[in-house]
Amino acid sequence: GQNIDQPTEMTATEGAIVQINCTYQTSGFNGLFWYQQHAGEAPTFLSYNVLDGLEEKGRFSSFLSRSKGYSYLLLKELQMKDSASYLCAVRDRGGGGNKLTFGTGTQLKVEL
Amino acid sequence: DAGVIQSPRHEVTEMGQEVTLRCKPISGHNSLFWYRQTMMRGLELLIYFNNNVPIDDSGMPEDRFSAKMPNASFSTLKIQPSEPRDSAVYFCASTPRTSGRASTDTQYFGPGTRLTVL
């Protein structure tokens, strides 16, 4: 099985930088995903890491350390529209190799 | 391009009734996933299909739940009989399964069906 842990809530100021952490335990790691979900909407893909290191995509970056079972999502130059839930998801090699297990999400509130 | 299509968007029913949720994946995608999302438990995988074949249904809560994928462009999730604890948002997602090498295999989610069982 898998265990994924991320903070329930975070608050940050517009224009600032925020880091959302995710720790996981899995028997057959095959990639880590971050999704963004606005209230009442579907999750949308943000980033993917399978090797250690930092992946940068505009204002968003994601980091992975497989040995530590740890990832973070870094959001720069925060905007009000970034207020949303951020979901960490781990893919497992078993069961066809395409199964994602999601964390419960971190609700980010961006304030003026 | 049309994304994943789900219907209905909202469903309100009474306990004991049969509920059928429908999903049309993105054309050309050959993996399809059904999820359930609640405040208490977050986003949970119920079942997923590769090339119309169920691969993992370990998340299906009990025998009241069943899912089918008769062809590459259509899937259903059925709850019979429904219970108030089944109230949740049900998402369908699809992914363009590649040749088998490690890849992004990003899952694209539909808008969801909000189910309320009274």
Chain B residues whose beta carbon lies within 8 Å of the beta carbon of residue A48? 104, 106
Provide the pLDDT for residue A61: 97
> What pLDDT sits at residue B98?
59
Minimum distance, in Å, between the CA of residue A17 and any CA atom of chain B: 26
Q: Each residue of B82-104: pLDDT tens digit? A: 999 999 999 999 998 654 444 56
Asked if B38 is an interface residue toward chain A (Cβ–Cβ < 8 A), one would say no
Chain A residue numbers with beta carbons less than 8 Å from the beta carbon of B48 are 96, 98-99
B40 vs A: CB within 8 A = no
Residue A98: pLDDT band (50, 70, 90) is: confident
pLDDT beyond 70 at B57: yes
Q: What is the pLDDT of residue A2?
A: 67
CB proximity B83 to A under 8 Å: no
Q: What is the DSSP string of B83-111?
A: -GGG-EEEEEEEE---SSSS-----EE--
Q: B67 vs A2, which has greater pLDDT?
A: B67
Farthest CA pair distance, chain B = 46
Q: Is A100 in the B-facing interface, judged by CB distances under 8 Å?
A: yes
Residue A27 has pLDDT above 90, yes or no: no
Q: For B64-77, how does the pLDDT look when each residue is reduced to its tens digit (9 = 90+)?
A: 999 999 999 999 99
User: Which pLDDT value is given to residue B102?
Assistant: 47
Cα–Cα distance, B30 to B73 (Å, whole number): 9
Q: How far apart are CA B118 and CA B2, in angstroms?
A: 33
Q: Tell me what the mean pLDDT of segment A77-102 comes to.
A: 89
One-letter amino acid at B105 equals D
**B70 Cβ partners below 8 Å, 6+ apart?**
B52
Residues of B in contact with A97 (CB under 8 A): 100
